[in-house]
Amino acid sequence: MIFFVKIIKVKGVLMVNRKDLENYIKNIPPAPDILKRTIEQVQKQELKKAGDIAKQDIILLKYMQNLINKPIYGFKNKITDITQIFTILGADLIYELLHHYLLSLLSPKKWHIFNLNESSFNELQANLSFYWGKVLEYEKIKDKEVLSAISLVPSAIIVCDELFQNSIQELDILSDSSIIDYEFLLYRLTKVHLKRLSIKIGKYWEYPKKSLDIIEASSKTTKITDSQTIRLGQWIHLILFYVLSKPIFINTNLNSFIKFDIDYIQPIYGDFENALGEYF
């Protein structure tokens, strides 16, 4: 790891600095008004009203149709009507999916560091959402504030791609001789943890505190002491690597974007097969 710093210094240019980071945060767009209003109605369990508002945003409509018809959700017939989508999925899952949509607004048009595109990014979101749902079912948790936590996970991937997009050459040299751990790299360069960036984005978009705490607990932390939040954080960590091990993501470069901490997930790993059941 000292090697990283050496190379960066030899080249005389920092790949990413604190200022880049601050600029990036400053330029995060606010949540669209239609989306905010839809979320408000979902929180009130007014799914029909929520559907009617959502219909006004054609991109949101397309996003929801596309996501829900992915094979992982297993619907036999294509569902296109937004009201039907909202009714079938229920308030909790819709609340989570609306947050996935919010995150997708941040995703780049063209990916630079990770071999992703709009479709594979949506696939990633769908996979995370699906397995998170299975885990919460297993843990008997029905809380939309917990459900929405998973939607913040890809924000770290988006941030990395944006911040490091001008350093592809340097990263390529580094990747010949070291595993690139973007979390470590970002911290060495800016003293900011990747998950703190996700939390910052979450706060800006008014994610519930529970979601932000779970993200904080998605890797080893001393800031969270509540055992259930830590357990959920461990699940998020494991699900992320389970999904990133899928063939579609192996060669996206995502498999190494952060370090998989096997020790951290040990307390829940024994339950993993049971939690996923036939989907393991």
Residue 209 exposed, middle or buried by CB count within 10 Å (0-12, 13-18, 19+) = exposed
Give the nearest distance from C-beta 115 to other proteins in angstroms: 11
**Distance (Å) of CA 88 to CA 75, 93, 108, 112:** 11, 10, 30, 37
The values of phi and psi at residue 80, to 5°, are: -120, -30
Give the nearest distance from C-beta 64 to other proteins in angstroms: 28
Give the nearest distance from C-beta 1 to other proteins in angstroms: 13
Among 187, 228, 255, 271, binds other proteins (CB under 8 A): 255
Give the nearest distance from C-beta 171 to other proteins in angstroms: 11
Work out whether 270 is an interface residue with other proteins (CB under 8 A): no
Helices (H), 55-180: 58-68, 82-104, 118-138, 144-147, 153-164, 168-177
Rounded CA-CA distance 133/138 in Å is 9
Give the nearest distance from C-beta 267 to other proteins in angstroms: 13
**Tell me, what DSSP letter sits at residue 152?**
G
Work out whether 177 is an interface residue with other proteins (CB under 8 A): yes
Q: What is the CA radius of gyration of the chain?
A: 19
Among 27, 247, 270, 274, binds other proteins (CB under 8 A): 247
Work out whether 184 is an interface residue with other proteins (CB under 8 A): no
Give the nearest distance from C-beta 175 to other proteins in angstroms: 6
Q: Which structure tokens are listed for 128? A: 């995370």
Rounded CA-CA distance 244/153 in Å is 12
Work out whether 168 is an interface residue with other proteins (CB under 8 A): no
Q: Which of 149, 51, 139 lies closest to 94, judged by CA?
A: 51
Among 13, 141, 168, 262, binds other proteins (CB under 8 A): 262
Among 13, 168, 173, 179, binds other proteins (CB under 8 A): 179
Rounded CA-CA distance 277/102 in Å is 30
Please name the residues in contact with 2: beta carbons below 8 A apart, sequence gap of 6 or more. none
Work out whether 260 is an interface residue with other proteins (CB under 8 A): yes
Amino acid at 51: G
Find out whether 83 and 48 touch, Cβ atoms under 8 Å.
yes
Find out whether 186 and 24 touch, Cβ atoms under 8 Å.
no
Give the nearest distance from C-beta 262 to other proteins in angstroms: 5
| Binding letters toward other proteins, positions 204-243, x by CB under 8 A | ----------------------------------x--xx-
Of 14-22, 52-60, 67-75, 256-264, which part binds other proteins (CB under 8 A)?
256-264
Work out whether 56 is an interface residue with other proteins (CB under 8 A): no
Give the nearest distance from C-beta 260 to other proteins in angstroms: 4
Work out whether 12 is an interface residue with other proteins (CB under 8 A): no
Which is nearer to other proteins, 207 or 249 (by Cβ)?
A: 249
Q: Which residues bind other proteins (CB under 8 A)?
A: 175-179, 238, 241-242, 244-247, 250-251, 255-256, 259-260, 262, 265, 269
